[in-house]
Chains A and B, each alone.
Chain A
Amino acid sequence: MTPRDRVLAALAGDRPDAIPCALGFFQQPLFGARDGDELFDTDVRFVGFDPSPDQEDFFSYLDSLPPDVHVGSVAQLRVYEEWGSTIPRVPAHIRWPAAAL
């Protein structure tokens, strides 16, 4: 059976030749890889809509954050921003309050 056959059998309540697996239910970047399921060779891949072309400014903002700031999944943040459900962006002088010392 292929991984796809196994997943479809499991979802039909049947017993495939091996129990399939995934790392969650959406594409998640892990350990520097864009797609954890690809990195660990699970049985499922996740797809969705492309980002809005209107969000380039937001991506630039995310890129401007220091690398040690954990902001969560970029995909999730993109969704929040697109739906207007986010607090105002943090100005640089607050992001790095001691930068001028």
Chain B
Amino acid sequence: MGLYHPESPGAHPLARGGAIGEFVERIAAGLTDPRRHEGLPAEVRRLQDRGLAVAGAPPHLGGELFESAYRLRGFQRFMADLLERPALVDYLLDQLTAMSLRNCVAIVEAGVDVLLLDDDVAGSHGMLISPATWQRFFKPRMIQLIETARQVRPEVRVFYHSDGDFTRLTPELVEIGVDVVNPLAPDCMDAAAIRRALGPRPAFWGTVGTAALWDTGTPDEIRREVARSVAEIGPAGLVLSPAYDVDFTPRANIEAFIEAVRDIGQGAT
């Protein structure tokens, strides 16, 4: 018995369109409460004083726009909305965008080096929505978020995450100001081909390992995978990171990753 699944009964608080207004009043007020980020500037400074890069994400339900919307409405319902109820989609996405704008400003004002934006718009074999649908509903709102962040601090770096294969979006992500994409899972995307096609922008954050490799592979296999990533994609414009969550990964494999980054990553530059 699971506690949560995106398609569980009861998991879609906005399954009825009429509940959206109530959502804005009740949920968004808490999510934009300034008391929840009043300590952030000091925390960011403390970490940067240690010489560390600091990345921050606004609160979201899995992702800023597409993912939040479908988790609130239900996946099948929201996919139908995109075709049949564009006014409702626009209204819901406008509410999510307004909330994200406030929270992105708070994160960037706190001084983070990297603003983390996130929206899973792709599955393992390609986009979950067409590029035209992304351009109609999501691209303009992503532009709003990025341009607003850069008005606050022009030097902030913008990061974009989507699971799966979002290769078709990468040129447009660069166009709207994304600096770095993640995770470029090697069983979903060909990062080397994207690098050859687009050059040094966007930078890549991730690229290392399949889910199976992280959880069931050996430390030697992890080291070879780091070496492959550096050889094919690096050394410029690359932050090495597991391309999948590592919460079930053996400690030896994480240690092998860190050692390999230190050994191979230093030797490569």
Footprint of B on A, CB under 8 Å? 2-8, 10-26, 28, 30-31, 36, 40-54, 71-73, 77, 79-80, 82-90, 94-95
Contacts and interface: CB of A to CB of B under 8 A. Distances in A.
A15 B203 CA distance: 11
Given A21-B239, A47-B55, A79-B59, A28 B245 contact: yes
Given A10-B203, A16-B269, A84 B53 contact: no
B269 A22 contact: no
B38 to A, nearest CB: 8
Given A10-B238, A28-B247, A46-B55, 5 more contacts: A19-B269, A47-B55, A52-B36, A82-B27, A82-B30
Contacts of A17: 266, 269
26 contacts: A4-B53, A7-B113, A7-B239, A13-B203, A14-B236, A15-B237, A15-B269, A19-B234, A21-B241, A23-B241, A23-B254, A25-B116, A43-B239, A45-B47, A45-B54, A47-B56, A49-B31, A49-B40, A50-B35, A50-B36, A51-B36, A52-B33, A80-B61, A83-B27, A84-B27, A85-B11
Main SS at interface, chain B: mixed
B242 A85 contact: no
Nearest to A97: B1
Given A21-B239, A25-B182, A84-B27, A2 B51 contact: yes
A96 B61 CA distance: 30
Contacts of B157: 8, 11-12
Interface in B159-180: 159, 161, 179-180
A11 B239 contact: yes
B76 interface: no
A10 B30 contact: no
Contacts of A26: 57, 116
Nearest to A52: B30
Interface of B: 1-6, 8-13, 23, 27, 30-31, 33, 35-37, 39-40, 43-44, 47-48, 51-62, 68, 71-72, 103, 106-107, 110, 112-114, 116, 118, 157, 159, 161, 179-180, 182-183, 199-201, 203, 205-206, 230, 234-242, 245-247, 251, 254-255, 257-258, 261-262, 264-266, 268-269
Nearest to B237: A13
Contacts of B110: 47
Contacts of A73: 247
Contacts of B106: 49
A46 B237 CA distance: 20
A42 B258 contact: yes
Give the residue among A21, A41, A42, A73 with the most B Cβ atoms within 10 A: A21
A82 B241 CA distance: 29
B239 A22 contact: yes
A77 B3 contact: yes
A99 to B, nearest CB: 15
Nearest to B246: A23
B12 A45 contact: no
